[in-house]
Amino acid sequence: MHTAFDVRKDMFHILRGAETIGSEEFLDWGERDRLGVVVDEQVGALDAGLLLLFAAAAFYDADPGRRRRAIYPELYIFHAGGPWGGFLAFDLYPTHKEVFVEPTCEALLAAVNSRGITHLAVPERITSSDPGPAYEVEAALDRLKQCFAYGTGSTPTEASITISTENMALLGNYSVTLDIDTFDDGMSRAGQSIPLQLRPSASPALAEEIIRIRQRAEAECRPDASSHILSQRRLDAALAAGRIEEQLRVLSTAEAIAMLGSAKPSSSATSDKPRPPGTT
């Protein structure tokens, strides 16, 4: 829950086209909202990292009393055909907030609906001709408030939102996700911002989760994978420039649903790597 104390919305600069807009214009977020990010390649969700962090800040701003409670932001990663790396550094906790699902529109849409997702980000892909069962489609159309396409290693076409930050401390979340050798130290430093009475460091469950995430990273993340290389280059460039940005393309809910069926096939996952135990 370090994002409750480390991340504020005023750390971000948001453009719609060339126009600066306020945080409320960018993300229509209320007390019961939830962000889901679909990922279909190794560490791919890092290309939506600023969106995840901004949504975490919005979660706590929606009810400031949450910062005085041991509560994590309502962020979910949907690993399509994965697993694709652990995202505990972005406050994806408890474990059920990383969901492992087959890369089909029907399976992804059911997973998104069953978690009550209200804001959805999908990797920029061609649309699928099979949107899934009508009852799942209608449920999503009824509930989803905002949808975005994010780029996986490149800028989405017709990007309509640019979100950026010059707060280099936020890049520690990227570093920890990419480099397992910095994981323990990075998680320890992140926890120092949490008030003593709320720190979960003594929690056996969290200690076990940190071990499990480390094991997952060692098993799932290959530094020679193309998406890992691109993410590392992006991080290195951001550290050198003192600024990182992401482009998001605003989608209609129907467009986002159509993209769910075009995730990369599960055969692109490393077949000899077992799915993390106890996941769904």
> pTM here?
0.86
Residue range 256-272, pLDDT digits in tens:
999 987 666 543 343 33
pLDDT given for residue 66 in this prediction: 93
- Domain assignments of the chain as residue spans, ordered by start: 3-23+30-264
**Distance between CA atoms of residues 229 and 221, nearest Å:** 11
- Segments of the chain with pLDDT less than 70: 129, 152-158, 183-206, 262-280
Residue range 181-207, pLDDT digits in tens:
776 665 556 555 665 555 555 566 667
Contact 27, 35 (CB under 8 A): no
Contact 216, 83 (CB under 8 A): yes
- The secondary structure of residue 151, as a DSSP letter, is -
Contact 157, 191 (CB under 8 A): no
Q: Which residue has the tokens 């059920």?
A: 96
Give Cα separations from 86 to 110, 151, 170, 280 (angstroms). 22, 19, 17, 15
